[in-house]
Structures are given as C-alpha cells and as structure tokens.
Chains A and B, each alone.
Chain A
Amino acid sequence: MSYISLKNVSYQYPYSKQFALQDINLELKKGKFYGVIGQNGGGKTTLCNTIRGLIPHFYKGELSGEVLIDGTDVRNWNTGELSAKIGYVFQNPFTQISGIKETVFEEIAMGLENLGIEKNKIIESVISVSELLSISDLLEKNPNQLSGGQRQRVAFAAIIAMDAEMLVIDEPTSQLDPQGTEDVFAIIDKLKTSGKTIILVEHKVSLIARYCDQVIVMSDGKIALNGLAKAVLSDPRLEEFGATPPEVVHFGYAMQKAKKPLTEIPITVEEAVSLVEKRGKQS
C-alpha cells in the first residue's frame, strides 16, 4: 500500500481562479526517496503543502479529489499528530528559527519538548543529530545570531531530531555552499536508508540524479512526468516542461547526434564515465 496517495487532486488557493494543482494522481511508497523538479510556480511547493496536510488545514481554498496519508483522508487527520508524522523543512532559514530559544541546543530540542519525549532521550537525540549535521560546535550559540547557512542546518537538525516517518523537504540548500549541499544530500540519503520516506524539492538536478529513486516533474500545476529518476531525467521532453536536465544528459544526446551513441543516456557523471569506458572497450 502507498504511504501517500493522491487521487484526482485539484486545488485552488482562496480568491484565486487558477488551479495551483490540477488532476494530480500520485502514489508515494514507504522508504523511497522522491525528487520534485520543475519551473517556479509550477506547483512544487503546493504539492508539498498538500502532502504535509497544510492544505486544507491551514491554506483554505478549494481542495477536490482524495488525499490519503497512511491510509487516512487528510481531512480526518488531527493537524498536531500529522506534524509529528511528517516533518517539513523549507527554504527560508530565517523564519524557521523559532525566536523563543536562547541556545541552538534548546532550539533543536523544542520539537521534542512539544512531543513530550523524555528528557534524557531528548539530550541524546539533539547531540546525535547535531553531530550528523556537523553543528556540535554551535550548540551553545544563540540561534538568532547565526548565518543563513548555519540556520538552515539548525532548522534541518530540529526536524530530523523529531524522527518523523516521512520528511517533506522544500529547497533546503538555498543558503549552503556546494560542499554543504553535498553533505545535506548525503544525510538525506542516510535517512532514506534508515527507512524514512522522503520527498525533496530541489533545483540541483545533478544531485537529484545521484540520490533520488524517483523523480516527479511539475508544470502548470500538473504532473508532467513521473517515474524512475533515470527515465524522467533523460526524457527529451524535460526542457519543454521547464525543468533542466543534468549536464551529462546533454552530453549523452550530443554523442547520439555525433553518431557515437552510448548504450543509454547517462544521468550522473559517474554513469557517463562508466558508459564511455564500456563503449571504449567495445570498439
């Protein structure tokens, strides 16, 4: 059974005639890592808000169709319990810091305090998650005085510490340098290995290609493409839908055009290298 299931889902924000989501049919399986790409305004964040249950509980508007979260209709979920079940990290690191805690340690612990987790368990979780995100040296700092990148890590740590079954992550690396971004992807991958279901909105397609099991392309509020990362990212129509394929995909097509086709279109650099080597051996 799917963990998240959307059937014929359409949604309009209040006072808007446009559909932010239109006829969405989507099944998300437990323990998989889904990447969402597509142009801005294509409905990526709205999709996240729907899966997280903020639509229809917080964003009113018109929701039609059926949204099932772990088998229960989203309308029947208690919003508080839903927040414990599905973690949510988004782009802006400044609004994600609570502003009511004086140390990073207490900031990360806040969600666990709200969940009523036992004190010593909280201490262990906060420390292990801060080591995972390499922010142990920030624990005593005031979270309201950190840089954007540091805040992004703290906000991410605070959500991971809550140990939800599923994570919805909307552009978590906007404030991070390339190394920081790589780290975050590696951490998300690790979370997937520990059984979490993950849905990630991200512009950095080369990393999506490397880590995600499946990729969903959103365009004009509709799902334009949905399938295995390999199939979606090498789809020639990708750019039509406003998404950029990884660089190596261009390389793959260029090879085809030059009448030196690889056996398949690569989506990661590693793959391209091995395909080229294979081709070299064959000829």
Chain B
Amino acid sequence: MDTLIQHYSDLYNHDQKSGNWFGDFNPLSKLNILLVIGLCGFFIQDWRFSLGVCILEYLFAALNGKFKYFNSIFLRLIFIIGVFIILIRELSYKVENPTIMFNLLGWKWTWEAFYEGLRLGTVILSFSGAIILFYAFTTMRDLMYSLEQKGVSHATSYVMLASFQTIIDLRASVVTIMESQKARGIETQGNPLVRLKAFFPIITPLLLGALSSSEEKFVAMDARAFAVERKHTFLRQLRKVPAYEKLAVVAIDAAFAALVLYKLVRLFVH
C-alpha cells in the first residue's frame, strides 16, 4: 500500500511530461502558435510561402516523432484537397492567352490555372497541417484542463471529453443494433432504396437508447459531486509556463499582428 501511495504521489505531485519539448508547452500556447502559422497563408496568398510552411510542418512532425500520425492525415488531405483543387482549377480557371502546360486528350492544362490551384491548395493545406500538429502534440484532456485554469467551467470539459467516449460507445452499439435488425429480417444490402430504408430502424433505437441513458448519467455524475460549487482539486498538474515559452508566443503574435496590419494598409494605400 505504501509503495502504491509513493507511486501515485510521485505521479501526481510532478508536472505531467509528454517526453517532447514542444509537447510540454501549455496547450493554449501551442494552439496560439500553430493557429498563427496556419492563418499566415491566408494573408500572404503565395504558394511559395504556403508550400514552405507545409514542408516545415512535415519536417517538424518528423523531427519530433510524430511523422506517422501527421503523415496519415496529411497525405490524405494532399490528395483530396491539394490535387483536387488543381484539377478543379484546370477545369474552371479561364484567362486570356493562357500558357499551355500540356494537352491531355483535348483537355488543355494551363500554367495559370495550375498556379492558381497550387496557391489555394497550399494555403488550405498549411492551415490544415497546423491544426493536425496541434492535436498531434496535445491531448484533449490537457487542453480542457488548461481552459479550466483560465476559468472555463468544468461542464465544458465534461462535454468535450464525454463526447469522445460517447462516440466510441455508440460505435459499438451500431454494430450490435445492425446485427439484431438483420436477424429480425431488415435488409441492409441490395439496391439503394433498400439500404436507405434500413437507415431508420438502426438510427432510431440507437438515438432513443442513448438519449434515455442521459438520465442515469446525470444521476451518476451528480453522485460524484459534479454540481458542488467548491474549488476543485486537479490531480494532474501541467507545467508552469516558462518565460521563454511566453516570449515565443508574444513574439509570434506580434509578428502576425504586424503582417495583418501591413496587409490592411496595403489594401487601402494601393
């Protein structure tokens, strides 16, 4: 028993460590920094800048041991956003006297449309990459905890964290309900109309069951003093934000503010 107490006091009386220097940043600092990086592309609107950001994001993930996570999401986005946008632009973007890249069985690809697609695609990808990086280095639990410290109610944390678990729980129920409805003779395969009809006997019991369970959930959470209006204890503790981290955030925000200001001035002075 004493060794257990020792183990848990060591665990909870020290800062939670993620094992990575950036991971140990406060969640809100990470969000701030990455949002700024992600939004820059929208203001600069230059494919060279945004493509550079994308490459740096890739490198950053790789150097900090998150390549697999980052790549699994980002690679998909390169295809469904990046490549697709270029294709669409080659179909829709028209200029006078276009420079032809090549002719694909009568479909003339132009450099103008290509760069147009590239610009937009990389802007959106660099924004997406920043968000992916944020989640790669932050758990929802720590994010909510840092928000609670800023005065956000623990009801908000409950909503965010419980949503995750409810999705997992309901996914398991979908399979169960689908099997039992099949056993009761509801067709889930065949022509689209048949499959369409099968949707309702699956979603309705699932939703009704889930909604009804909320009542017991309330009673259970209430029994755990969810509604007590006292100052909460936090078992886990996050690192106190060090000076260099604060400095980094301020510097990045200042640079971003300068960029936005510059773009605004250009908008009017031009």
In the bound complex, residues from chain B placing their C-beta under 8 Å from that of A159 are 223-224
- Pick from A98, A117, A127: contact of B221, CB below 8 A: A98
Number of residue pairs A-B, CB distance < 8 angstroms = 117
Evaluate contact between B225 and A80: CB separation under 8 angstroms. yes
Evaluate contact between A89 and B223: CB separation under 8 angstroms. yes
Given contacts A89-B223, A131-B1, contact A119 B233 (CB under 8 A): yes
Give A96 to B13 CA distance when docked, in angstroms: 28
Q: Is B169 an interface residue (CB 8 A)?
A: yes
B-side binding surface: helix, strand, loop or mixed?
helix
CB distance from B36 to the nearest CB of A (A): 30
Q: Is B161 an interface residue (CB 8 A)?
A: yes
Q: Is B141 an interface residue (CB 8 A)?
A: yes
In the bound complex, residues from chain B placing their C-beta under 8 Å from that of A89 are 223
Closest to A53 in B: B222
Query: Which residue, A92, A123, A131, has most C-beta atoms of chain B within 10 A?
Result: A123
Evaluate contact between B4 and A58: CB separation under 8 angstroms. no
Closest to A87 in B: B223
Evaluate contact between A118 and B233: CB separation under 8 angstroms. yes
Q: Is B228 an interface residue (CB 8 A)?
A: yes
In the bound complex, residues from chain A placing their C-beta under 8 Å from that of B225 are 80, 83-84, 111, 114-115, 162
Evaluate contact between A109 and B235: CB separation under 8 angstroms. yes
Give A76 to B231 CA distance when docked, in angstroms: 22
Q: Which of A26-34, A60-68, A100-108, A185-193 contacts B (4 or more CB under 8 A)?
A: A100-108
CB distance from A162 to the nearest CB of B (A): 7
Evaluate contact between A88 and B219: CB separation under 8 angstroms. yes
Q: Is B60 an interface residue (CB 8 A)?
A: no
Q: Is A95 an interface residue (CB 8 A)?
A: yes
Q: Is A124 an interface residue (CB 8 A)?
A: yes
In the bound complex, residues from chain A placing their C-beta under 8 Å from that of B233 are 112-113, 115-119, 122
Which residues of chain A in 139-170 are interfacial with respect to chain B, using CB atoms and an 8 Å cutoff? 139, 144, 155, 158-159, 162
Evaluate contact between B235 and A122: CB separation under 8 angstroms. yes
In the bound complex, residues from chain A placing their C-beta under 8 Å from that of B231 are 116
Evaluate contact between A79 and B162: CB separation under 8 angstroms. no
Evaluate contact between A119 and B235: CB separation under 8 angstroms. yes
Q: Is B227 an interface residue (CB 8 A)?
A: yes
Give A126 to B4 CA distance when docked, in angstroms: 10
Evaluate contact between A123 and B165: CB separation under 8 angstroms. no
- Encoded as 1 (CB less than 8 Å from any A CB) or 0, chain B from 197 to 238 comes to 000000000000000010011111111111111111111100
In the bound complex, residues from chain B placing their C-beta under 8 Å from that of A127 are 1, 4-5, 8
Evaluate contact between A114 and B230: CB separation under 8 angstroms. yes
Closest to B222 in A: A83
- Encoded as 1 (CB less than 8 Å from any B CB) or 0, chain A from 10 to 47 comes to 00000000000000000000000000000000000000
Q: What is the interface residue range for chain B against chain A?
A: 35 or more
- Encoded as 1 (CB less than 8 Å from any B CB) or 0, chain A from 241 to 268 comes to 0000000000000000000000000000
Q: Is A199 an interface residue (CB 8 A)?
A: no
Give A62 to B121 CA distance when docked, in angstroms: 62
CB distance from B243 to the nearest CB of A (A): 26
Give A118 to B13 CA distance when docked, in angstroms: 12
CB distance from A146 to the nearest CB of B (A): 13
Give A90 to B219 CA distance when docked, in angstroms: 9
Q: Is A110 an interface residue (CB 8 A)?
A: yes
CB distance from A164 to the nearest CB of B (A): 9
In the bound complex, residues from chain B placing their C-beta under 8 Å from that of A90 are 216, 219-220
In the bound complex, residues from chain B placing their C-beta under 8 Å from that of A144 are 165, 168-169
Q: Is B181 an interface residue (CB 8 A)?
A: no
Q: Is B166 an interface residue (CB 8 A)?
A: yes
Q: Which 3 A/B pairs are nearest by Cβ-Cβ distance?
A: A99-B165, A80-B228, A95-B216
**A84-B225, A123-B5 are known contacts; what are 16 more A-B pairs with Cβ within 8 Å?**
A54-B219, A80-B225, A83-B223, A88-B222, A99-B161, A100-B158, A106-B236, A111-B225, A113-B233, A114-B232, A117-B233, A118-B233, A122-B235, A144-B165, A158-B224, A162-B225
Which residues from chain A sit less than 8 Å from chain B, CB to CB?
A: 54, 58, 78-81, 83-84, 87-90, 92, 95-100, 102, 105-106, 109-120, 122-124, 126-128, 131, 136, 139, 144, 155, 158-159, 162
Which residues from chain B sit less than 8 Å from chain A, CB to CB?
A: 1, 4-5, 8-9, 12-13, 141, 154, 157-158, 161-162, 165-166, 168-169, 213, 216-236
27 A-B pairs with CB atoms under 8 Å apart are A58-B222, A80-B228, A83-B222, A84-B225, A84-B228, A96-B216, A96-B223, A98-B224, A99-B169, A100-B158, A100-B162, A105-B8, A106-B236, A109-B235, A111-B224, A113-B232, A113-B233, A113-B235, A115-B228, A117-B233, A119-B12, A120-B9, A123-B9, A123-B12, A124-B5, A139-B4, A144-B165
